[in-house]
Amino acid sequence: MSWKKHFSGWNLLINGLISLLPAATVIGILRELGIGGALIIGSVILGFIYLAGVIREKITNKIVKK
């Protein structure tokens, strides 16, 4: 699996929209706990975008194999 395809073109847009709500929830919780900063927020957002891409890829592979 290449991480580049999760962060390019339409995949970035779709994965970003999918991961928007979970990432915002986690960032809100971290801010309430007093943990913040650009590096932490950026890593949470990019991590959720990557996870959304991996999950979408696994789902499409299972559908194609059937």
Q: Could you read off the pLDDT of 14-60 as tens digits, one per residue?
A: 999 999 999 999 999 999 999 888 999 999 999 999 999 899 889 88
Half-sphere exposure at residue 3, Cβ-oriented, CA atoms within 13 angstroms: 6
Q: Which residue has the higher pLDDT, 20 or 65?
A: 20
pLDDT given for residue 49 in this prediction:
92
How confident is the model at residue 1, as a pLDDT?
Answer: 56
Whats the size of the chain, residue-wise?
A: 66
CA end-to-end distance (rounded Å), the chain: 20
Bigger pLDDT: 10 vs 5: 10
Please tell me the total count of domains within the chain. Answer: 1
Q: Indicate whether 62 pLDDT > 60.
A: yes
How far is it, in rounded angstroms, from Cα 16 to Cα 53?
9
The confidence score (pLDDT) of residue 47 equals 93
Q: Which domain holds residue 22?
A: 3-65
